[in-house]
Structure 1
Amino acid sequence: MKAEINLITIWTDNVEKMKAFYTEVICFEPINDLGDYVEFQSSGVRFAICNRSVMVGFSEEYLKKSSGQAFELAFPCDTSEDVDITYEKLIKLGATPVHKPQDMPWNQRTALFADPDGNIHELFAEIE
């Protein structure tokens, strides 16, 4: 095994709603849409959403509902101002606001928003 991440998959019970969010709000382009599995164009790490039911035949663990914040996607912005502008744009397009942009002690400006399943994600930029 290589110590590297090749694919991040978000498991969901509502692929259509999540697909709409990640295409219309976040602006990912679908490159492989099989209905219950959608993979998006992403530089670096592959990114997908998949219906939990696809994997139930392999493990009933996929029947369990997730609880709590288990992961975060962090989206880089070019500048601190871009964090503010992007946050407002995402909220207007339907992302759920979690925390408005704020300068953090680790020299980044960050903001938090959630997708339709409640997964919290981050916008960030280095403070110049």
Structure 2
Amino acid sequence: MDERPSSPRSPFGAIRAIDYTVIFVRDMAAMRRFYEDVLAFPLSRELSPNWIEYGLGNNTLALAKPSRTASDAPTPAGSASLQLAFKVSAAEVDQCADELVRQGVALLSPPTDQPFGHRTLFFRDPDGNLLEVYAEI
């Protein structure tokens, strides 16, 4: 009989969702134009010129200039520090691709049906972060 001792429950087990997603930005003006004008994310609030929030469903996406909470050097140009995946319907993946191209955004991968059951589209924001629009198919 292989019995493992029970470990104490972690307090992090209480986490049920991601509430805020914060992107530390190098170029706030370019990132703001991209998220507001290209992706048309609804501005929720602007706490300062260095902290801007967008409401996306139950999540808040914030653009922030690193300050007293992050003294790390910025991610080098050409390196992604995160990937965000935005879920839409299958038809909307293609519509998003068309809009990105219309807005002059280079696609890293056009709409593609993946063997794992997603239709995906990949591109980058002005700071080089990898963004994905996908649908379950």
Superposition TM-score, scaled by structure 1 size: 0.84
Distance in structure 2 (CA, Å) of the matches to 1:114 and 1:58 = 25
Deviates more, 1:87-96 or 1:34-43: 87-96
For 1:108, the aligned partner's letter is: H
1:21 alignment partner in structure 2: 34
Match of 1:91 in 2: 101
Structure 2 contact 83–132 (Cα < 8 Å) conserved:
yes
Shift in Å, 1:28: 0.8
Partner of residue 125, structure 1: 135
Q: Does 2:76 align with 1:72?
A: no
Between Structure 1 and Structure 2, the one with more helix by share is: 1
3-state SS of 1:82 partner: helix
What residue in structure 1 maps to residue 9 of structure 2?
Answer: none
Aligned length: 121
Q: Percent identity?
A: 26
Aligned to 1:42: 56
Distance 1:84 1:32, change over 3 A: same
Residue type of the partner of 2:24? W
Judge conservation of contact 2:124–2:130 (CA < 8 Å) in 1.
Answer: yes
**1:9–1:47 Cα contact (<8 Å) kept:** yes
> Aligned-pair distance for 1:25?
0.8
- TM-score if structure 2 supplies the norm length? 0.79
CA radius of gyration, larger in: 2
Name which of structure 1's ranges 84-93 and 20-29 shifts more when overlaid on structure 2.
84-93
Mark the runs of 5 or more structure 1 residues left unpaired by the alignment. Answer: none
The CA RMSD over aligned residues, in Å, is 1.6
Which residue identity does 2:21 align to in structure 1? I
